[in-house]
């Protein structure tokens, strides 16, 4: 991590006027708790562009993180007044209000954040505030996937069964459960067909995961080991979690989903033991896809040592992945992150996450098929998926879902008033899309700089290719 920080510092010293780069360095410093340096970089960005929202937000967050709450509040309130449509600042205000014990205010701010930017979420805060995330409009017949007894509270964002989830199918033999472990455990029914677009990524997953698992014996004869890990990275909301679940669905594997924050927060002290139990659970239920979301959280905590238990957990994790502790035959580890630059290279050694796949935002064709998938089971009249796809450049899958949610809510209100089903039209959807900002651009701003300045061993070549930048 510090190598990356150094690379960024160097890049800034070469182009000291590059605002995105200054912001990136500021963010990287924040991650490492280098508050002073973070602030300096944000301040420098502001000298070039006095109203830069990202730099202002960076400063507010730096004040918050270093515990200077009143300064953080002043900064955040000023930003909210100037940029009321920015969800991140409302989220920060909500956090600040919560810390200061103003629960109602915190809830109001959080609701505001979600209202202006449905993509903005903070699950930890949601739990603290005990606010339910606004429910997506359920189509007729939506089924709720049951959680096993003792399973952790579902992380709604990622664990939501896609609303087009078909009726429950045969779930296969019941998995061996360990009620003490806060993991989500399921046999997904989603398949690749439920994931729009992404044909290249799907094909890679077939080649790298599915065929080896299905032909394990053949692979063994040729001296190839199966198993290992694949790291999916890309902008938020573009289907990493969905695709992981669908991979399990394709091969009828057990899907165990573990949030790294859960590992670190809930099990302090006992983390290694529980991590081992999870791998054991996976070993008892092969084929299993073990899905670690937010891998970057684990990796960046290693640097900061915020949790004293952190390093042990990581070492345990790496040892389990290496198969040093038990056989990993029939286990596939999938990891997902939208901050791959925070993932320690130790995670990418052979036998660990040795394969890395970029999950790009959907292109127009992919958007059209996602839109068609999402319209299934909803009262949509004469959908022109193409037309909507053309008007949703840079939208992620999650953004498209939000488009449907907004349009649905509007129509639902009318339907309740008039007491009849009022169909959603393509125009409604286009209007909803126009009222929203696509969320993937901001990610590429960061990713581009890492790809240009910290592209060790060509890690980000796919990002460069996506951006049309020659290596």
Ligand X SMILES: Nc1ncnc2c1ncn2[C@@H]1O[C@H](COP(=O)(O)OP(=O)(O)OP(=O)(O)O)[C@@H](O)[C@H]1O
Judged by the rule CB under 6 A, the positions of this chain that interact with ligand X are 158, 160, 162, 195-198, 236-242, 336, 338, 362, 370, 373, 397-398, 401
Residue 197 near which of ligand X, Mg ion, none (CB within 5-8 Å, type-dependent): ligand X
State which residue has the least CB distance to ligand X: 397
Residue 175, contacted partner among ligand X, Mg ion, none, CB below 5-8 A by kind = none
Q: Which does 238 bind (CB under 5 to 8 A by kind): Mg ion, ligand X, none?
A: ligand X
Residue count at the site for Mg ion (CB under 5 A)? 3
* Residue 195, binding choice from ligand X, Mg ion, none, Cβ under 5 to 8 Å by partner class: ligand X
**x/- string (CB under 5 A) for Mg ion, residues 205-224?**
--------------------
- With CB under 5 to 8 Å by kind, the binding choice for 202 among Mg ion, ligand X, none is none
How far is Cα 136 from Cα 114, in angstroms, rounded to an integer? Answer: 13
CB 466 within 8 A of CB 358: yes
Q: How far is the CB of 119 from ligand X (least distance, A)?
A: 8
Torsion angle, CA of 158/163/169/172, rounded to 10 degrees?
0
What is the phi-psi region of residue 130: left when phi exceeds 0, alpha when psi lies from -120 to 50, beta otherwise?
Answer: left
| Residue in 328, 294, 369, 342 with CA at minimum distance from that of residue 5 | 342
For the four alpha carbons of 167, 132, 155 and 284, in that order, the dihedral sign comes to: negative
Min. distance of Cβ 433 from ligand X in angstroms? 15
Note whether 189 binds Mg ion by CB under 5 A: no
Measured from the CB atom, the residue of 52 and 202 that comes closer to ligand X is 202
* Residue 135 CB, nearest approach to ligand X (Å): 14
Q: CB of residue 221 vs ligand X: minimum separation in angstroms?
A: 36
- 231/383 with CB nearer Mg ion: 231
- Residue 448 CB, nearest approach to ligand X (Å): 18
Which residue lies nearer to ligand X by CB, 228 or 239?
A: 239
Kindly tell me which of 30 and 403 has the beta carbon lying closer to ligand X: 403
Output 328 or 337, the one with its CB closest to Mg ion.
337
Residue with nearest beta carbon to Mg ion: 241
226, 241, 392, 396: which one binds Mg ion (CB under 5 A): 241
Evaluate the CA torsion angle 148, 154, 265, 399 in order and state its sign: positive
**Bridge partners, 290 (sequence order):** 256, 333
Alpha carbons 7 and 454: distance in angstroms, whole number: 6
CB of 396 to ligand X, least distance (A): 6
Q: CB within 8 A of 11, min separation 6: which ones?
A: 18, 21, 25, 449, 452, 453
Min CB(231)–Mg ion separation in Å: 13
Q: Specify the residue, 183 or 198, whose C-beta has the smaller distance to ligand X.
A: 198
Cα 268 to Cα 123: distance, rounded to the nearest angstrom: 19
- Which of 292/404 has CB closer to Mg ion? 292
How far is C-alpha 351 from the geometric centre of its chain's CA atoms? 24
Stretch that binds Mg ion, among 147-155, 238-246, 266-274, 296-304 (CB under 5 A): 238-246
Structure tokens at 8: 């960024």
CB of 239 to ligand X, least distance (A): 3
Strand partners, 231: 335, 356
Binding mask 157-186 for Mg ion (x = CB under 5 A): -x----------------------------
- Interface with Mg ion in residues 123-162 (CB under 5 A): 158
Cα–Cα nearest to 172, from 260, 95, 253:
253
The nearest distance, CB 67 to Mg ion, in angstroms, is: 30
242 binds, among ligand X, Mg ion, none (CB under 5 to 8 A by kind): ligand X
With respect to Mg ion, which residue has the nearer C-beta, 189 or 241?
241
User: CB of residue 39 vs ligand X: minimum separation in angstroms?
Assistant: 28
- Residues in touch with Mg ion (CB under 5 A): 158, 240-241
């Amino acid at each position: 991590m510090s190598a990356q920080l150094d690379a960024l510092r160097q890049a800034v010293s070469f182009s000291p006027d590059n605002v995105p780069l200054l912001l990136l360095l500021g963010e990287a410093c924040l991650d490492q708790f280098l508050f002073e340096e973070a602030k300096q970089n944000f301040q420098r960005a502001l000298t070039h562009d006095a109203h830069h929202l990202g730099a202002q937000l960076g400063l507010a967050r730096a004040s918050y993180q270093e515990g200077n709450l009143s300064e953080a509040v002043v900064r955040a309130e000023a930003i909210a007044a100037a940029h009321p449509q920015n969800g991140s600042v409302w989220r920060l205000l909500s956090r600040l209000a919560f810390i200061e014990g103003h629960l109602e205010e915190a809830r109001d701010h959080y609701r505001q954040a979600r209202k202006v930017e449905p993509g903005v979420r903070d699950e930890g805060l949601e739990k603290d505030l005990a606010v339910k995330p606004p429910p997506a409009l359920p189509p007729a017949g939506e089924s709720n996937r049951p959680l096993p007894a003792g399973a952790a509270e579902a992380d709604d964002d990622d664990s939501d069964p896609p609303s087009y989830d078909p009726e429950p199918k045969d779930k296969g033999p019941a998995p061996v459960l360990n009620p003490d472990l806060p993991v989500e455990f399921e046999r997904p029914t989603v398949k690749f067909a439920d994931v729009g677009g992404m044909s290249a990524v799907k094909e890679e997953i077939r080649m790298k995961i599915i065929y080896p698992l299905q032909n394990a014996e053949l692979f063994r004869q040729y001296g190839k080991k199966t198993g290992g890990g694949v790291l999916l990275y890309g902008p938020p909301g573009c289907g990493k979690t969905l695709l992981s679940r669908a991979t399990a669905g394709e091969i009828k594997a057990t899907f165990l989903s573990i949030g790294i924050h859960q590992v670190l927060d809930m099990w302090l002290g006992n983390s290694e033991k529980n991590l081992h139990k999870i791998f054991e659970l996976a070993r008892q239920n092969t084929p299993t896809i073990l899905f670690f979301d937010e891998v970057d959280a684990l990796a960046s905590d290693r640097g900061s040592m915020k949790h004293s238990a952190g390093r042990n957990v990581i070492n345990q994790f790496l040892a389990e992945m290496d198969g040093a502790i038990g056989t990993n035959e029939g286990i596939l580890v999938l990891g997902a992150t939208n901050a791959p630059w925070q993932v320690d290279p130790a995670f990418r050694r052979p036998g660990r996450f040795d394969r890395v796949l970029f999950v790009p935002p959907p292109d127009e064709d992919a958007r059209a098929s996602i839109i068609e998938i999402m319209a299934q089971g909803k009262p949509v009249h004469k959908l022109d998926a193409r037309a909507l796809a053309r008007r949703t450049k840079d939208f992620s899958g999650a953004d498209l879902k939000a488009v449907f949610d907004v349009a649905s809510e509007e129509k639902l209100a009318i339907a309740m008033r008039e007491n009849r089903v009022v169909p959603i039209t393509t125009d409604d959807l286009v209007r909803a899309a126009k009222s929203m900002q696509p969320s993937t651009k901001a990610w590429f701003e960061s990713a581009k700089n890492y790809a240009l300045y910290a592209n060790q061993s060509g890690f980000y070549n796919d990002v460069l290719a996506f951006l049309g930048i020659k290596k």
